[in-house]
Amino acid sequence: MDLHDYAGKSPNALERIKGRIIGEGGKARRMIEELSGASISIYGHTVGFIGNYKEVKLATDAIVLLAKGSMHKTVYNMLQYARRRDKLAKMRLWEDSYEDKVTPSES
């Protein structure tokens, strides 16, 4: 992802956006990595992601929100909501497959 898309040509704006993504002592970056599951690398004016499609999509959405100026709390809440939704979907899938195995279908 190229941060010039959000900062324009201003080097000060680029540094500000990179600072928002990294956070104080790397806290914001670490939180995004933990909540999304993707690894994030910030170098120069680019941000790189490593992970599966869902993880990278979630991390990308978080970075875009921060680059556009959203508050960190808003981004963290979005990530936590997505994580909770995925966890519930996995539990529902597991319960459905468990019920299929336990209750034989009557024909």
- Residue whose structure tokens are 């500000």: 16
Q: What share of the chain is helix, strand, coil (3-state, %, to 5)?
A: 70, 10, 20
The mean pLDDT values, 10 residues at a time, for the chain of 107 residues are 93 96 96 96 96 95 96 96 91 70 57
Would you state the pLDDT for residue 94? Answer: 72
**pTM attached to this predicted model:** 0.81
The Cα–Cα gap between 20 and 31 comes to 12
Would you state the pLDDT for residue 97? Answer: 66
